[in-house]
Amino acid sequence: MLALQGAFREHKTLLESLGATVREVRLPQHLTGLGGLVIPGGESTVIGKLMEEYGLMEAIQDFYASGAAVYGSCAGAILLAREVLGAPPQFGTQPALGLLDMTVQRNAFGRQIDSFDVPLEVRGLTEAFPAAFIRAPVIVSVGEGVEVLSTYQPEHHPEQIVLVRQERLLASSFHPELTRDPRIHQLFLGLME
Ligand code: GLN
């Protein structure tokens, strides 16, 4: 669990309830021996700058290349993306890992529907998943090797991609850790095997 900023405690609790052993990662050496990493929601600019400061950008890229799985939720999804749109210019370039072949748009749902809960149809799940969106990004486009697992169509908006998988990478626009439904985390643990 990347524990620099944001909603990492809730993910940790949920993963532990599924029987996983969870370590908080703040420095590159904390990744040693782990099978996967969750990058939580929070503020992607803040998390990204801290990742750069602590040498975690390269360390996580190497960690993934060595066979580990990585899941990014909300700000975490932004940090996984190959391309990020909508970063406020005053913060300079958006730091990102660039591992997942997708373009994301930050804060894409706009002011009116800033934060909301919605039941989502997810590929591979029989019942809808209760998803919490909080100043969420959307996945604007994905490359060929990326599997779209869920989309959501808000009223008066086009359909948006909100959950994707590419090999051992998983990214969601929403926060599955807030609803205590473990199915997205189960999906992630499955990628580690
Ligand atoms: N709006 C945040 C960002 O762009 C993400 C919000 C979240 O993680 N809940 O980084």
Alpha-carbon span 172 to 175, nearest angstrom: 7
Pocket probe for ligand 1: among 50, 94, 134, 172, the residue whose CB has the most ligand atoms within 8 Å is 134
Could you tell me the two tokens for 75?
A: 């700000």
Q: Which residues are catalytic?
A: 74, 175, 177
DSSP secondary structure of 142-171: E-TT-EEEEEE--TTS--EEEEEEETTEEE
> Ligand 1 — pocket residues by CB below 6 A?
41-44, 74-75, 78, 106-107, 134-135, 137
- The pLDDT value recorded for residue 88 is 74
Among the atoms of ligand 1, which is closest to the Cα of residue 41? 8
Say if 121 falls within a structural domain.
yes
Q: Mean of the pLDDT values across residues 15-25?
A: 97
Give how many domains the chain has, as a whole number.
1
CB 137 within 8 A of CB 108: yes
Say if 3 falls within a structural domain.
no
Say if 34 falls within a structural domain.
yes
Distance 66 CA to ligand 1 centre (A): 28
Average pLDDT over the chain, rounded to an integer: 93
Please tell me the pTM assigned to this model. 0.95
Q: Which domain holds residue 181?
A: 8-191
Q: Flag whether pLDDT at 69 surpasses 80.
A: yes
- Among 5-14, 97-106, 110-119, the range scoring the smallest mean pLDDT is 110-119
Say if 1 falls within a structural domain.
no
Say if 76 falls within a structural domain.
yes
Banded model confidence at residue 187, pLDDT cuts 50, 70, 90: very high
DSSP secondary structure of 88-108: -GGG-SPP----EEEEEETTT
Distance 189 CA to ligand 1 centre (A): 23
Place of tokens 């086009």: 158
Q: Flag whether pLDDT at 127 surpasses 80.
A: yes
By CB neighbour count within 10 A (0-12 exposed, 13-18 middle, 19+ buried), where does 176 fall? buried
CATH number at residue 171: 3.40.50.880
